Structure 1
């Protein structure tokens, strides 16, 4: 099965309709939100240059979605030279098949194509979200060691720094 991470705006109308049906498990909603909220953030943002959506296609079928943000949409905790990852969602019927990992593997190249000037990627993850922590750390993200009070509980900041090979 071929996977590729593509910008939301390049999806066909049929793929956008398929993406609208993406659902995460109910226990994941506090962490990632749902596809409606993610797409709403993307499509109604007054600063479209500061937010981009990406879909992971598996044989041309959308199976996952994520958002990247840059100034002026960066959260307060992020470095201005970074892009931040938000709302990573893998369809509940597709989970456990490596699609979250595929998103993270393809993300550095996609982020640099969108914003060649960025120096790193950052994210904030609930410290109790064990599956997400395992996914990010396993993909090479580095925990900053800092925790802060977030929406759900304590959150950890993780970072992916670009090297010359990225």
Structure 2
């Protein structure tokens, strides 16, 4: 794979979507969870989306239940929770694994492109990857990095 646009992901209804749909747009790709102490980061992500979507920013949320089972089993509950509690209107995709033998290929690629502090492994919910308009991963942010702290790096890509 040459860049993130080469991947396909699943929408909540199970349909495949090619990330080529986002070609030429900067992306923030994040693994999310609805019942996590970091869940309020949805608010900051939504604020970035509202502020920069007119400059082509897309935020792609991927629910993950690998960290203390902090995601609903039902994807409809997940998307409803995000919309009702945080006004999320950026895309939320089907629930995935980000680590292990069943890790989603997109996240395997992201981790290969930008390692974490000590390893490639994603350590918790709300690990964020910043992708430029060419589909190249330019930065990885740990779970405790608030979305507002990404803004300076993001604006360089807009």
Q: Same fold (TM over 0.5)?
A: no
> Which of structures 1 and 2 has the larger relative contact order (alpha carbons within 8 angstroms, sep 6+)?
2
User: With structure 1 as the length reference, what TM-score do the two structures score?
Assistant: 0.28
User: With structure 2 as the length reference, what TM-score do the two structures score?
Assistant: 0.29
Of Structure 1 and Structure 2, the greater strand share is in: 1
